[in-house]
Each structure stands twice: as structure tokens, then as C-alpha cells.
Structure 1
Amino acid sequence: MSVELPFHLKTLPPEALDVIRYFTAVGDDQAADVDAICEGTGLSERGFSKAIKRLVTKGYAQMESGRVYRLTDQGVNAAQELSEYDASAPVEKESGGSYETFSRRLLLAAPPVLVANQPTTIVVGFDAADPDESLLNPAELVVRLSVLNGEPKAPHDEIFALDDDAAHARFAVTPGNHSKLRLRLQVFQLGPNPDDINAAGGMYVDLDIGANSQASRSLLAFATTVPVMAF
């Protein structure tokens, strides 16, 4: 089902949306300089200047230093909305028409309470395909994990060659001295051509950070549905 682009994003010029998409691809909690953004988006400095001015004025981005920018919390939320919109839009084939899209459940399992400064293993992956959602060929998906209020600081990517079977990977995270840890998953599907990278949604969860006595061996499961295209 198609997701409508939120009205507040419709008011932004296409160049501004491309800048938001760039931050989604590199990690929307990361900072980037003007040269990197222009190279990643294909914008000229003039086009970027127009885009970033609108994003800063509207509260989606902020200057960190000199020629370095990052998304604000409002911008991160907008990036998620834009990713959901992009993921729901049909992808055109070169010969016309659209690729068939299937649904898969993205899963994240983690303890209900984490302990500050203590490494914890979380599990991320996909459910097996439903019988009517079978893929003829494996789909190459990248799952990007970003951690807020903990380690690792840099996003970590895991590549799945997804067929009809369930698949999962393990990630090690270490909470900091905070009350909550945020785990953010972003999914991208790689297409048949080297430059084909398609946003496929994702999710985030907030987990409590408590004392060692509150640690638990049980796991909480979180899930959402993401689109998978049959190339």
C-alpha cells in the first residue's frame, strides 16, 4: 500500500529531499560536510545552498561547524517519513512497468532491560516468507543498525542474501550511562545495477537501561513489515 508524502515534506524543494535522503543513507545521526553531501546527492554548490537554507530555516538541519551539517531531531523524524514514502513507491523497470513487491517481517530481539557499560547481544533478522510471498531469486538487503546513548558510535551494516527462509544476525551493543538506549534499523535493498540502492523502511526501539540486578536473560521481540522487490 502506498504511503502519502506528508504535507510538510511536500513544501520542501526536491533538492532538500535529496539531502535528507543522503543523511538516511550515511546514518541520519551523522554529520557531513558540504563536499561530501554534494558528491553524494549530485547537487551543485548552488543547489545545495538552496536546499540547506530551506532545511535549516524549517528546523530539519543545523550547522555543526563551518561547512558541516547534521539533521536535527525533527530532521531525523522527517528522514524516517521520507524513507517510508520511498519504500512504498513502485520502482520503475527500464522497459516500463513496476517490479513486483513482496512483504517480509523485520525482527529485533533484545533484553527488556540493559545494563550500563555492559555489552549485550541483540538479534536482528527476517521471518520466513509466507507461502504467497515466495521470492524466485534471493534479494540482497542491507540492514543498518545505529545506536543512540551507547556503543558502537558508528552505524553497522549487515548484508542479507534473503531467500524464503528465516535469516538473522547478532550485534553487540553497549549502553552508556543513560536511562534509555535507542536502536534504529534502516533497511536498503540493492538492485541489479551497482548504483541501485532502494530505501526499504525500518524501525527504532527504545530500551530501558537499569541496574545490574534488573538484568534479564529473556528477550523482547519487536517487528515491522518491509517491502522486498523482486528484480
Structure 2
Amino acid sequence: MFNLPISVINRNISLGQAKNVDDLIQRANSQWLMIIHDDDLLISNSLEKFFSYIDKDNENNVYFGMQKLLEKNRLHTDHEGIDFNNKFHRNINLNNSSSFDIVSNQSLPSNGFIINTNRAKQIGYTYHIEFNNYGIIKDACDYAFSWKCFKNNLNFKFLPIFTTIYRITEGSVSNSKNITILESALTELDVFLNFDLNNFQKNAIQKKFKKRCVKSLKTCVRTQQWSLLSKLFLLTFD
């Protein structure tokens, strides 16, 4: 069904994940796109299944399914996969949830979802944090992008099928979360400060931010970000 050419872009200078993905999005010339990384695998026929669900006339929908884990060369069973996805509320009830809940619960996977190319270009993948002049979110750029989708009023459509496999390795984000947790907290702080949220949403995002703060403070110490440490400390224990 998909007989597509493969383009390889060799970079002399690394852009970092966020800028690299943003550049690839800007280069894309298809109607729809999917972001996958070197630790992701597509399950057989998943693209065909995706496109059987897609409303091609609605550019504001983002489509995603369930993930399986590949750990130490063992692919999790369907039962294990369902248990894993339930941790992120990926089940038949998810399409009754609000876009805010889907993003804040990280029900939208970090990759392996399908989004309209023009909308992705308009939104942009990079997320800049003004707090303490932090700059561009790097390790948590995928989570930050999901919040940009929310801010731009995209709809999230869950497909109750397995679509991708996430391969856990020693170098994977799942095994080295310190910077990711810090940047996730900074993203949530920015959402709280700068997004148009109702009171319920503000309370929910504030709770998520404070849950991450102790680990975030430890990361600031480890990476010697003293100015950021002092400002986050004041917010954490306010």
C-alpha cells in the first residue's frame, strides 16, 4: 500500500532532537506525517489501520494507538501491552476524555502518532521556556509538543489497537529521566502561567508540577543550575 521513497539527511552539525524534528516537519510534503525515532518500530499493517480511521477532511485531528514494549529482546504480550497502556488511560474510554486530560495524563505517546503536516508546521515542534531564560526544551520536547497541540485546539483520537513498539535500551529516556522530569516540570509551569486554562485545569497542572519538583531540584543541583534551583525552590515550597 505504501511504496514510498526514503530520504536520508546527513547533518555535519547536530541540531539536537527538538530542532532536528522541527526541521524534518518543515521539509515534509505529505498530507499527514508520523514521528518515529530509532527506538520505535511500527507494527505490521499499522499504517493501513491508521488510515482506515483517519478523517482526511479534518486537519485538526491527531491519531494514536497503543504501544508495546520490547525489553531485553522480549516483546511484551498483548496482555502485558494492555496493562502498560492502561497506565496512560489508553483504553476504550479514552475518547470520552477531554484534550486537556489526554495531554496531562500523557495518554498521547511521545511519538508514533499521525498529525496533519500543515498543522504540525504551523504549530512548530520546538518549545521555548522563558522562565529563568531556560530556552528550548530538549529531552522533554515530545511532551512539550503535545501541549502545543492542545493550545492550538487539536483533537486527539485514540485507536484501540496496537500500532507501535517502543524498544527500551540502556540509553533510552525511560532509563534516564532526570532532565526529562525537570523539563516536563518547566513545561507544566509554562502551561500554568501562560495558557488559557479554567480553574480545574490550573489546579490539575499545578499538582503535576509540584509532584515533579523534588526530583527537578535534585537535577538542578546535579547539573549546577543554581539560579533555576533557587527559583524552583521558592515555587515548590510556596
TM norm structure 1: 0.25
Relative to total residues, which structure has the larger helix share, 1 or 2?
2
TM norm structure 2: 0.25
